[in-house]
Amino acid sequence: MGFICSLACDVRCPTVCTLTTDNLLDFFQSETSVELMSCQLGMKVRRQTGIMQVKRFFKYFGIVVVILVGGVLVAGQISYHSIGEIDPPPGKMYPVNGGEIHMHCTGPENDAQPTIIIISGAGTPSFMYSNLQENLSETVRTCSYDSAGIGWSKANDIPYTSKSLSDELGQLLQTAQIDGPVILAGHSLGGIVSLIYSAEHEEQVTGIAFIDSSHYDQVDHFGQEFRDASDKQIDDLLATFWLLELADNLGILSLMNAIHDISAPDEYAEEHKMMASFNKWNPPYPTMKSMVTNLNLSFEQGKEAHHDRRDLPIVAISASGITSDGSVEMGGISEEELAKGFKDLHKDLADLSTHGRHVIVNGTDHMSIVNEDTTADHVMSLIPLMGEK
């Protein structure tokens, strides 16, 4: 009887919770018992109604989610298929390694001066160096190119390493009949490519400009904890490229870029348009995955070429550094410590030659440094040193 009373009180049904054995029969024959049973029945009905409401909520919520996801995918595909074809290359296509490599040369041809060859950072298309090339070509013949699988150059099956990129450059210059003296301006991983190429073509290379260059020791220089974090980052990058490729194929990236361009148009709109075209018509993801997979091998190949260059004119150009508030940390190394460490490594590159020097371009980061007039001036400073070589 206590259970019935407790239930009645709990559900706030109108009953008396002081029943005894003597009046139990009277209770069940009374209107009060009917009220209690009605209350319990109502409680059951309300419980069933509540369950139905929850089920109905999730049903409609699921429908809304499906509609939203479907709408995003449809909009993404519309955006993806609206991407125009890649603009015609500004330069020429040259047969290399069974495929074609795009190279764009500008500026006056002068046998008395070397040709400057801009070697891009890993996965970076040549048009990203257009400002640097424009500044340099006012005075001297300057060429930029797209390595296989990047920009206007189709991919091949050759693993993406600094040594294979050096071999690719050798074939490209031979095919393009650029056999005179050259100054190599290598940005990022292109710096290691410059080092390898110059070691194998000492008679042709008359100067090297390392533009915020990679260094074979750029991981181990910061200790084991940083090495472990770097290895994990490589694994994360490989997963990221897979996701980016999927998002690109679904049109999500193109939709995001379209929204960005509408909501916040900026001076990079044309650059975004070209990158979207490249991503669709010449996807860089297989090449980038090969680059990341073979990154440590590229560093080892760079180490083999890291030796004394006697009096070869060299300038190592460092970005001033920190792109955020300096609070970013990787493997126990702060961003500020990382920037300082890279400057030390760049000085090491300059010290390979008695005619080497290290400079810093203030107010720049790893990518913006290639657009600075000062960077072009530092590259051009190598030309007068050729006579002293």
- In the block, residue with structure tokens 């109502």: 42
List alpha helices for 106-223, DSSP H.
130-136, 162-175, 189-200
Mean pLDDT across the stretch 15-42? 49
At 239, the pLDDT band (50, 70, 90 cuts) reads confident
The model's pLDDT over 83-109, given as tens digits with 9 standing for 90+, comes to: 556 789 999 999 999 999 999 999 998
Q: Is the pLDDT confidence value at 48 over 90?
A: no
pTM value is: 0.77
Rg of the chain in Å (alpha carbons): 34
What's the CATH fold of domain 92-223+280-388? Answer: Rossmann fold (3.40.50)
User: Which single residue is written with the structure tokens 């050798």?
Assistant: 170
For residue 84, the one-letter residue type is G
User: Domains of the chain: which residue ranges?
Assistant: 2-81, 92-223+280-388
Q: How far apart are the first and last CA of the chain?
A: 109
